[in-house]
Amino acid sequence: MSSAPSRTLSPGSSADPSTSQTPSPSIVPGLALALGVAVASMLVAPLLPGISALILAIVVGVVLANLAPLPRATAPGLAIASKKLLRAGIVLLGLQVALGDLASLGLGMLLVVVVVVGAGILGTVLLGRFVGVGRHLTLLIACGFSICGAAAVAAASDVTDPDDEHEEDTVTAVALVVLCGSLMIAVVPAAAALLGLHGETAGLWAGASIHEVAQVVAAGGALGGGAALTVAVIVKLARVLMLAPVMAVLSMQQRRRGARDGKQPPLVQLFVLGFLAMVLVRSFVPLPEAVLEVGSLLQTLLLAAAMFALGTGVRIALLRQVGVRPFVLAALSTVLVASLALGGVLLAA
């Protein structure tokens, strides 16, 4: 699968001996494009039920990249958006998680969240081996489906593939998260009705099983809102908090692997520490509501810009060449996470 237009441009040599080096390419065009699409996605997304700004930005990136090649001048800025803006957005995501809200779920439900994420990742990895999907793509699918969707995919890729050697795996996993997570918005409420789950129980299941936060909000609304929506979002944020320990484990694995290759990546990525710091700030510092609102908007802006940049790396013609196996794995992982969540919720309830 080809990636977005080359994200690193080699300075050309100058025939003028007085010129020592060609200036580095500007990051402004690509950043301006990514941020502009992010703003537009944030304005349009509320008009489309069940569609978050992040998902919309990914779709726009895919469409633009496949309709016509993006200008080469946008490549450096898009590289910055897909990495640095992503990390900054994940740090600010921590402001959405208050430990007091999570504690209100009770120890039983918190254990369910840990099991869903842990067993979801391990189970998906085993399923990936059974289905025959590559190790790296399997790991990205496992993290995205078990934790918090596209942001978890991108975060895991940032830790395990810092040089973008497997960028096609990232865009494939993001595309699968969008597809399967969107289907879950309708499937979970319908299945909850068939199973006789109502109110908070159905909300707990939605929060523990659906991929993206915005998708959980949409499903919670379909369940009737109120208490169902509230607990669905709190459970989902508990899963978001699991992003930190999972990324720390991946960092340590990467460090051990790097030691054999003579490389020493950081023990814990800086953005993971920043995420945890923001969680503590939200939990123990009485922040004004206006500050939380600005933080939420900025977090969405940065993540949407990063998702757009990732979307520009998706080539539909080549995506079809990955074959049916990743789609089978995505479906199996979705069923696995939903089943773990349902069993855990019923036991905890």
pLDDT in tens, 58-103: 889 988 988 888 899 999 999 899 889 988 999 999 998 999 999 9
**Gap between the Cα atoms of 17 and 100, Å rounded:** 64
Look at residue 264 and tell me whether its pLDDT is greater than 90.
no
Domain count, the chain: 1
Q: Residue 265's pLDDT is what? A: 62
Q: Which stretches within 132-241 are classed as H helix?
A: 135-143, 150-160, 167-195, 199-209, 213-222, 226-241
> Does some domain include residue 15?
no
| Within-domain flag for 70 | yes
Q: Is residue 5 domain-resident?
A: no
The pLDDT value recorded for residue 17 is 43
Higher pLDDT residue, 118 or 312? 118
Write the pLDDT tens digit of every residue in 267-306.
Answer: 677 888 999 999 999 999 999 999 999 999 999 999 999 9
Nearest to 154 by CA among 207, 87, 236: 87
Alpha carbons 28 and 41: distance in angstroms, whole number: 20
* 229 in any annotated domain: yes
Residue with tokens 């309709």: 67
Does residue 9 sit within a domain?
no
Residue 87: which of 269, 344, 335 has the closest Cα? 269
Residue range 26-35: mean pLDDT, rounded: 93
pLDDT at 18: 43
Do the domain assignments include residue 7?
no
**Interatomic CA distance for residues 94 and 86, integer angstroms:** 13
Residue 123: count other Cβ atoms within 10 Å of its Cβ.
18
Q: What is the mean pLDDT of the chain?
A: 86
Q: Is 111 contained in some domain?
A: yes
Q: One-letter amino acid identity for 194? A: L
Residue 117 near residue 147, CB atoms below 8 Å: yes
Confidence label for 348 from pLDDT (cuts 50, 70 and 90) = confident
Question: Helix/strand/coil (H, E, C) string of 83-111?
Answer: HHHHHHHHHHHHHHCCHHHHHCCCHHHHH
Q: What angle do CA 268, 177, 40 make, to 5 degrees?
A: 90
Query: What is the residue range of 168's domain?
Result: 28-348
Is 128 in contact with 141 (CB distance < 8 Å)? yes
Q: Which two tokens stand for residue 74?
A: 């946008």
In a domain, 21, yes or no: no
Pick 152 or 255 by higher pLDDT.
152
CA gap 155, 247 in Å, rounded:
8
Q: What is the pLDDT of residues 145-183, one digit of tens each?
A: 999 888 899 889 988 887 777 878 888 898 888 889 888
